[in-house]
Structure 1
Amino acid sequence: MTRPSRSSSSNTNPDRIESQTTTSRSVTQTLNGSHQFVIQGYSLAKGIGVGKHIASDNFSVGGYKWTIFVYPDGKNSEDSSSYVSVFVALASDGTEVRALFELALVDQSGKGNHKVHSHFDRSLDGGPYTLKYKGSMWGYKRFFRRSLLETSDYLKDDCLIINCTIGVVSSEIHCPRLHSIHVPDSELGSDFGNLLDTLEGSDVEFDIAGEKFRAHKLVLAARSSFFRSKFYNILEANNNELVISDLEPKVFKALLHFMYKDSLSGDVEPVTAHSFNLLKLSEIDETLIVKLLAAANKYNLSRLRLLCESHLCKGISISSVSKILALSDRYNATELKSVSLKFAAENLQAVLQTKAYEDLKDDYPNLQSELLQAVAGYDETSSSGEGKSQSVWGQLSDNGETSSRRLRQRTT
């Protein structure tokens, strides 16, 4: 019996898995961001001493926080005391950060002759600069000779403008991925907003100075413990009509807008430092945003209170900070007060010369001690290593003797 023979010439192997070729790609790039630091009152900052700086607010680039430090009298006496020094510092904790930097002193004549020190658009032999820990700095001890700066177009109306650009180096691997399904943003907020716009299913009516407003008990109860107790308290459970006598219709309308849409109403006035400079404190009290802040406190709406405080914070300036301090004290706006005290401490000498501060001393004496503590706290955390001058402390207190005693207590 003849057996069938197996062909040895076949190249097909059914057990062999067909090989695949995959690819990936490493992409290194920079995540860029910029910050403008305006120094108003340069002549007052000059003379603070070698090694003492003015700091910008923290700003974020590439997932890290940064701060600009300007040393009007130079960073150290050995090689920069006749120069203005400028540095960028890493202000957040983390691992090593590699970055490109650019510092530009703005030419305020309009000619565009900015003084620029930049890593961008040029080859760096050692690669990007590495900052290894919080407080690490990059910059120039001899950024600009002080005598030349003070007669240049970079200084105008006693003001300097410094632009800082940072490019944080980031590497990632690009490779093929499965197809994805896009999930749109949540529509929950807009759906609740539509309830307010249509009033469909509304089950309670408010009388505000004769003007009627319809709403939904469940929505208001979910947003405010005040209304929850009103609607679901056994004694008031069937209350479908409420009269509120201590709010104006426009304030209640803005309150409803927040409770349904989780944002400030478009009726809220824009707030700028300029607008608050022009208004008296009594006039600021009459603005919708301040009345809404008071309503947020009454109706236990902590997020609305923060939104109001954040909006009012935009009005802080040398001339207006004392007004906003008084406002924050009156309405228990703790975050707004904290920011205002910090700003006043950082700009103390200029703030003390304003009319608003004179009014604050007379009408809100309790804020004097809080400002004194803020100044002491700021002085301790600054890099100067020395206290404020005795004359400044004397101006801040009722008299120089009281100020001196408090200063000695802080420094013993």
Structure 2
Amino acid sequence: MKLTDAREQRVSIASEIENAFISFASMDVSVLALETDVTIGGRKVIGYGFNSNGRYAQSGLLRERFLPRLMEADPTSLCDETGRNLDPFRVWDTVMKNEKPGGHGERSVAVGIIDMAVWDIVAKIEGKPLAVLLAERYGDGTPDPTVSVYAAGGYYYPQEDHRSLQEEMRNYLDAGYTATKMKIGAAPLEGDLRRIDAALEVVGNNACLAVDANGRFDTETALAYARGLNPYQLKWYEEAGDPLDYEVQRRVCETYAGSTATGENLFSHQDVRNLLRYGGMRADRDVLQMDPVLSYGLVEYMRMLEELKIRGFSPRNCVPHGGHQFALNICAGLKLGGNESYPKVFAPFGGFADSTPIEQGRVAIPDAIGIGFEDKRNLMQVFDQSLGK
């Protein structure tokens, strides 16, 4: 088999929301279709990919560097031993040829988009949901039938008051979620504590509300928030300081008794290794949020999981950032600890299959082969309109 075409387009996911660090007023993503010469049921097998929110479209890197490298490669060099399917690891080696170590930056996102589309192809040719394929090849043989998900939101909206935050949290609970997350750090500590109190009036259970500072704080502020948050015993305190400032994370872990979470802005297994070496992370409570798409794809993500295993952490410590079907399949197939979800923003890229609603804070894996994009109508409309059928 071989790849016959690669099509990429930029799609806007702009909104007026803000976290403690950035506005999403100009946010966009790249969507990608990789077409093959394989036909199943009278239709060409096409793999789809896109990048998670929080990083911008990768059009230049994809079109000028990584896609030409992929499409110009000898087709046999991209295939597995049978020659009838792609080998994601060989594809990864091909697109990363002549790339120096380090300097991960935006290229990790571009490669992750390709990787997503490749895994979609591989699972479709095998005739299996990606979660099943991953469990059989790299797990214990059986995927988790459902995955725990939480609703990420609580952004800073223009003219927001506590009532609008409470209404947002109420909508999440009504939609079937039992756990939610809100942003902190764009207001003073006392103001954020009042926002947390307001959210908890709706959520009810402190252990079902997480907070996220998006890397905003210096050491002094991160520790002040740790002390202020300690009495609440929340679900977790996320990304207090810069993601590469492992000293801040270590100090927070020493000060904050509850769970911390970080990792969504780490893009390689070497970064994860350093976090576990120097960041003070605790295997009995802390959460690792690396995003498979933003960090060179599932091929690199499996190397991250090996780093965890070496240092006594479980895959259940991982709750990936991203809130999409690719991460959900990975969570089920490799038995991670849960998955993010975006019920209100970043549509239609966030969220899961149309056939699997959120029920009691969990979502099932659909029977659709591949990643399951075809079971998400509004997302397929974007793919079809942007990339052609």
TM-score > 0.5 by shorter chain:
no
More strand by share: 1
Structure possessing the higher radius of gyration over alpha carbons: 1
- Higher RCO (C-alpha under 8 Å, 6+ residues apart): 2
